[in-house]
């Protein structure tokens, strides 16, 4: 069994250290009340047993909590007091400077928590280490100076999660919809160089990838671009190619027919589209931003976003090529085609592509084929969005999320009275731990709502800290965002403040663990008809708070189904520390994301999507649902049926399949998760390879695909997922 030390590194669990610590505390009390060596040994053995029952590697603090509990259970209260005093004294010494120790463990690559903090960051490479080192300094400054003590305390105890403290010291925002159309059509500036309107589709694609990289380096969240903004350049290239073909024909004295000329032009155009899309795919995969990872970018594919029928046909060609290339994948270092994490793809299901007799059904079939093999695209229902995303003019709108799931709320530009989505952004997120509220109430409903109010006010204060950190930021801080079109075209030296109010940007109240919260308060899953009303009441309560704050500040507070990654493990450990093991609530190394049905709960794909749709609608700041499926490559009809169901029932959903490869033996099935010495590890079922550096594993954990492995809590959650189809 392994143990996670305070600096994040991993060590072999040693029972003798527990025995020694208890013995030292035992020696400080009067001889008449000391425990015997046998009693001390028994306490240590019970602690070991409790650690083994966790099913994961415990942290040092968890083990020490267990030691305290066992000493007191033996009635040795004076020994326990001595042990607690010693812990407190040592903690004060450690707090004098913890940052140096963490940074050194990062450099030496023995910080297990850092290795698994982000499933798309490789912690070994220099650029990632520099980002993590800077993040530790930022986090230290944030906790000691920038945030109120009560916010820091609540965050450390897992009562709330103040996201991205490693970036908080800088004036940076979370995620956005890049206004690629404005930047391409009207020009932009990248690192001081003027980039004019491109004269071909291929050039437009190249510029788009440079914009994506620049945007990613100036924020910490995801971003989205639309292929529709590239579509006009297909016609630009068509005309350019046609001129070249006519010139060539004239040079050789040929007189081809108009049909022959068109055929040649379209063939060359297809090749240019292929090269342009390839540029996007390979640039996004291979570019490293300043934080040591590929840009977290989503590519939006929405036919009805085109301005006319001709542009829609050109857009369809781009979408087709994008899906074909993603289906193929990218080659790993061994030259084998594998599933890349980015760009994330979203395909809109709409009237023109949802039935067998619709003109773009062929694209939907291709999307299904791609999803079955590569886990993307994910799907947005135009039908449900037009029904549920309605602006103040009474008009529904279909648009993409910002990255993996964060959605803007409907907005009408007061100057033009027209809807606006591209160029808008999210100020940041603070997430509320719902199971902690339930457990703190002891199951008493009156107490539950009172504690709920207290925790909401804590989140309110924390979110205003996020907002005020951005307030006063000058456009010069990130020219690509604020001056050159990605989010706005402000003047040099102009504050971004006007973009923080009136709904132009959002700020998100996140929530996690609705299932566990309802389970504790009602004794039932929130899928049980008797418990669902309480779950919906909790959602309404969260939304009501957002409405109050919005009215008070003129800031668009929005409820957000948080995509917990490493935080799912943190919250679970904090709950266990505060409340012990409560069956069905705190007995896992993870808690459930947002409103999702628990991963172990048997439910079919259609019932799951239908049930979760009502909660997704109540998460206007963003959310995504998924169904877990086996290998569907030989059953595309079933994939298409799920896609049709999404169109009719839910805004945004995805299918989670598996896409793995063992570099040792060439196995391309599902890499398994097994247990070794109390730790969950990945193993090839064919050759038993356990070297993570010699396997490619892709799993969806937070709306996007991760490829760098996960912490023990998230790994346990992945292992326990049941199939829904």
Pairing of strands 193-195, 188-190: antiparallel
Domain boundary among 307, 328, 349: 349
- What does the alpha-carbon distance between residue 689 and residue 682 come to, in Å, rounded to a whole number? 8
Q: What is the mean pLDDT of residues 111-132?
A: 57
Find all residues with CB under 8 Å of 577, minimum gap 6, and list them. Answer: 61, 62, 65
Quick: pLDDT tens for 319-344. Answer: 999 999 999 999 888 898 888 888 99
What is the per-residue pLDDT for 291? 60
Q: Are residues 180 and 90 in the same domain?
A: no
Q: Is 175 an active-site residue?
A: yes
* Catalytic site residue from 35, 172, 404, 702: 404
My answer on whether 187 and 69 are in the same domain is: no
pLDDT surpassing 60 at residue 282? yes
* Most confident among 14-28, 55-69, 79-93, 311-325 (mean pLDDT): 311-325
pLDDT confidence of 59, banded at 50, 70, 90? confident
> Residue 516 pLDDT > 70, yes or no?
yes
For residue 521, give both structure tokens: 């308060």
The catalytically annotated residue of 175, 205, 459, 702 is 175
DSSP code at position 228: G
What average pLDDT does range 643-662 have in this prediction?
94
- Of 117, 136, 516, 565, the active-site residue reads 565
At residue 139, the pLDDT reads: 84
Residues 74 and 182 in one domain: no
Q: What is the C-alpha to C-alpha distance for residues 526 and 524, in angstroms, rounded to an integer?
A: 6
How confident is the model over 226-239, as pLDDT tens digits?
999 999 999 999 99
Which residues, at least 6 apart from 444, have a Cβ–Cβ distance to it below 8 Å? none
- The whole-number pLDDT of residue 285 equals 81
- The CB-side HSE value for 136 (13 A sphere, CA atoms) comes to 22
Phi-psi bin for 709: left (phi > 0), alpha (psi -120 to 50), beta? left
The answer to whether residues 195 and 334 belong to one domain is yes
356 found inside a domain: no
Query: Token pair of 280, please?
Result: 């996007």
From residue 638, alpha-carbon distances to 35, 191, 429, 605, 629 in Å are: 65, 48, 36, 11, 10
Q: Which domain holds residue 43?
A: 1-96
- Higher pLDDT pick, 483 / 33: 483
Same domain, 322 and 218: yes
Q: How confident is the model at residue 447 (pLDDT cuts 50, 70, 90)?
A: very high
- Confidence band for 6, pLDDT divided at 50, 70 and 90: low
CA-CA distance, 636 to 615, in Å (whole number)? 28
SS3 content of the chain, % helix, strand, coil (to 5): 50, 15, 40
Confidence of residue 184 (pLDDT cuts 50, 70, 90): very high
Residue 530 has pLDDT above 70, yes or no: yes
Of 43-52, 524-533, 696-705, the range with the lowest mean pLDDT is 696-705
Question: In this model, does residue 122 exceed pLDDT 60?
Answer: no
Annotated catalytic residue, options 422, 504, 511, 560: 560
Which residue, of 96, 125, 148, is where some domain finishes?
Answer: 96
Q: Average pLDDT for residues 522-535, to the nearest whole number?
A: 98
Find the mean pLDDT for residues 587-594: 94
Summarize the confidence of residues 159-169 as an average pLDDT: 94
User: Domain for residue 264, yes or no?
Assistant: yes
Are 236 and 329 members of one domain? yes
Chain centre distance of CA 177: 16
Write down the catalytic residue from 138, 143, 224, 426: 426
Query: Quick check: is 382 catalytic?
Result: no
Q: Which pLDDT value is given to residue 333? A: 82
- pLDDT for residue 483: 98
User: In which band, very low, low, confident or very high, does the pLDDT at 119 lie, cut at 50, 70 and 90?
Assistant: very low
Q: Which of 406, 508, 558, 566 is catalytic?
A: 406
Which position has the higher pLDDT, 237 or 286? 237
Is 381 one of the annotated active-site residues of the chain? no
468 is catalytic: no
565 catalytic per annotation: yes
Structural domain contains residue 651: no
Mean pLDDT of the chain: 91
Residue 406 bears catalytic tag: yes
Average pLDDT over residues 151-157: 96
Q: Is 661 an annotated catalytic residue?
A: no
- The helix/strand/coil state of 330 is strand
In the chain, the number of structural domains is 2
What band does 105 get if pLDDT is binned at 50, 70 and 90?
low
Is residue 266 exposed (0-12), middle (13-18) or buried (19+ Cβ within 10 Å)?
A: middle
């075209």: which residue's tokens? Answer: 489
| Domain match, 191 and 340 both | yes
Residue 414 burial by CB count (10 A; 0-12/13-18/19+): exposed, middle or buried? exposed
* Of the residues 75, 96, 117, the one at which a domain ends: 96
CA distance 62 to 53: 13
The predicted-structure confidence for 256-269, as pLDDT tens digits, reads as follows: 999 999 999 999 99
In-domain check, residue 23: yes
The reply to whether 328 and 195 lie within a common domain is yes
Q: Are residues 77 and 202 in the same domain?
A: no
Q: What is the mean pLDDT of residues 155-181?
A: 95
Q: Which of 703, 706, 711, 717 is catalytic?
A: 703
Is 120 catalytic? The answer is: no
Q: Are residue 82 and residue 180 in the same domain, yes or no?
A: no
**What percent of the chain clears pLDDT 90, i.e. is strictly above it?**
72
Alpha carbons 620 and 400: distance in angstroms, whole number: 13
For residue 226, the model assigns a pLDDT of 98
d(CA 354, CA 361): 6
20 lies in a domain?
yes
Residue 561 placed within a domain: no
Radius of gyration of the chain (CA): 27
DSSP string, 664-677: TT---SPPEEEEET
Q: Both 60 and 196 in a single domain?
A: no
Q: Are residues 190 and 323 in the same domain?
A: yes
CA terminus-to-terminus distance, the chain: 35
272 domain residue, yes or no: yes
CB of 657 within 8 A of CB of 375? yes
Task: Establish if 303 belongs to a structural domain.
Answer: yes
Among candidate residues 402, 459, 465, 702, the one labeled active-site is 402
Confidence of residue 700 (pLDDT cuts 50, 70, 90): confident
Distance CA 409, CA 622 (A): 9
Query: Among this protein's residues, is 402 annotated catalytic?
Result: yes
CA distance 513 to 683: 29
Which of 180-194, 386-400, 642-656, 660-674 is predicted with the least confidence, judged by mean pLDDT? 660-674
Burial status of residue 529 (CB atoms within 10 A of its CB: 0-12, 13-18, 19 or more): exposed
Confidence of residue 128 (pLDDT cuts 50, 70, 90): low
**Is residue 82 very low, low, confident or very high in pLDDT (cuts 50, 70, 90)?**
confident
Coil, helix or strand for 124? coil
Confidence check: pLDDT of 118 > 60: no
What tens digit of pLDDT does each residue of 548-575 get? 999 999 999 999 999 887 888 899 999 9
Going along 629-678, which residue ranges are E strands? 652-656, 661-662, 672-676
């Amino acid at each position: 069994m392994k143990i996670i030390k305070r600096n994040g590194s991993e060590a072999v669990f040693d029972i003798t250290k527990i025995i020694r610590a208890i013995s030292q505390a035992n020696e400080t009390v009067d001889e008449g009340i000391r425990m015997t060596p046998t009693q001390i040994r028994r306490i240590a053995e019970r602690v070991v047993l409790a650690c083994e029952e966790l099913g994961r590697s415990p942290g040092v603090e968890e083990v020490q909590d267990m030691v305290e509990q066992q000493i007191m259970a033996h009635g040795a209260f004076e020994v326990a007091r001595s042990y607690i005093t010693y812990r407190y004294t040592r903690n004060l010494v450690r707090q004098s400077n913890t940052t140096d120790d963490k940074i050194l463990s990062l450099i030496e690559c023995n910080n297990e928590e850092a290795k698994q903090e982000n499933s798309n960051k490789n912690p070994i490479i220099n650029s990632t280490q520099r980002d993590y080192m800077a993040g530790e300094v930022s986090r230290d400054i944030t906790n000691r100076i920038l945030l109120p003590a009560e916010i820091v305390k609540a965050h450390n105890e897992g009562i709330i999660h103040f996201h991205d403290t490693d970036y908080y010291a800088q004036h940076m925002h979370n995620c956005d919809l890049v206004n690629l159309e404005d930047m391409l059509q009207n020009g932009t500036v990248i690192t001081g160089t003027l980039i004019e309107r491109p004269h071909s589709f291929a050039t437009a694609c190249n510029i788009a990838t440079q914009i994506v990289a620049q945007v990613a380096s100036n924020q910490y969240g995801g971003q989205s671009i639309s292929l529709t903004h590239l579509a006009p350049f297909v016609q630009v290239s068509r005309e350019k190619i046609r001129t070249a073909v006519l010139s060539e024909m004239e040079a050789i004295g040929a007189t081809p027919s108009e049909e022959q000329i068109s055929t040649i032009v379209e063939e060359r155009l297809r090749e240019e589209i292929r090269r342009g899309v390839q540029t996007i795919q390979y640039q996004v995969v291979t570019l490293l931003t300043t934080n040591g990872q590929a840009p977290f970018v989503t590519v939006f594919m929405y036919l009805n976003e085109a301005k006319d029928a001709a542009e829609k046909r050109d857009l369809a060609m781009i979408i087709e090529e994008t899906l074909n290339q993603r289906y193929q994948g990218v080659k790993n270092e061994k030259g084998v085609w594998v599933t890349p994490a980015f760009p994330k793809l979203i395909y809109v299901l709409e009237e023109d592509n949802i039935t067998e007799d619709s003109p773009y059904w062929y694209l939907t079939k291709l999307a299904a084929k791609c999803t079955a093999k590569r886990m993307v695209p994910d799907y947005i229902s135009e039908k449900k969005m037009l029904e549920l995303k309605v602006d103040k003019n009474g008009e529904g709108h279909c648009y993409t999320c910002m990255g993996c799931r964060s959605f803007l709320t409907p907005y009408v530009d007061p100057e033009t009275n027209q809807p606006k989505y591209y160029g808008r952004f999210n100020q940041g997120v603070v997430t509320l731990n719902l199971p902690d509220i339930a457990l703190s109430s002891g199951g008493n409903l009156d107490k539950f709502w009172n504690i709920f109010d207290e925790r909401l006010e804590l989140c309110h204060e924390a979110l205003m800290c996020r907002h005020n950190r951005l307030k006063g930021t000058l456009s010069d801080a990130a020219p690509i965002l604020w001056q050159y079109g990605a989010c706005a075209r402000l003047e040099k030296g102009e504050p971004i403040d006007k973009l923080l109010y009136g709904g132009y940007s959002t700020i998100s109240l996140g929530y996690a663990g609705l299932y566990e919260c309802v389970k504790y308060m009602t004794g039932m899953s929130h899928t049980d008809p008797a418990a669902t009303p309480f779950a919906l009441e909790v959602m309404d309560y969260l939304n009501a708070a957002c409405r109050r704050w919005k009215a008070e500040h003129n800031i668009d507070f929005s409820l957000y189904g948080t995509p917990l990654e490493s935080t799912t493990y943190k919250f679970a450990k904090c709950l266990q520390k505060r409340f012990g093991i409560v069956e069905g609530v705190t007995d896992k190394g993870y808690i459930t994301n947002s409103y999702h049905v628990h991963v172990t709960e048997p439910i079919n794909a259609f019932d799951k999507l239908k049930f979760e749709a009502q909660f997704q609608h109540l998460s206007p700041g963003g959310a995504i649902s998924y169904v877990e499926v086996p290998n569907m490559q030989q059953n595309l009809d079933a994939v298409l049926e799920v896609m049709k169901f999404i169109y009719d029932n839910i805004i945004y959903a995805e299918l989670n399949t598996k896409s793995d490869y063992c570099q040792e033996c060439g196995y391309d099935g599902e890499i398994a998760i097994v247990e070794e010495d109390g730790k969950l590890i990945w193993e090839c079922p064919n050759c038993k390879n356990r070297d993570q550096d010699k396997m490619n594993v892709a799993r969806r954990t937070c709306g996007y695909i991760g490829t760098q492995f996960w912490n023990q809590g998230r790994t346990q959650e992945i292992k326990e997922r049941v199939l829904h189809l």
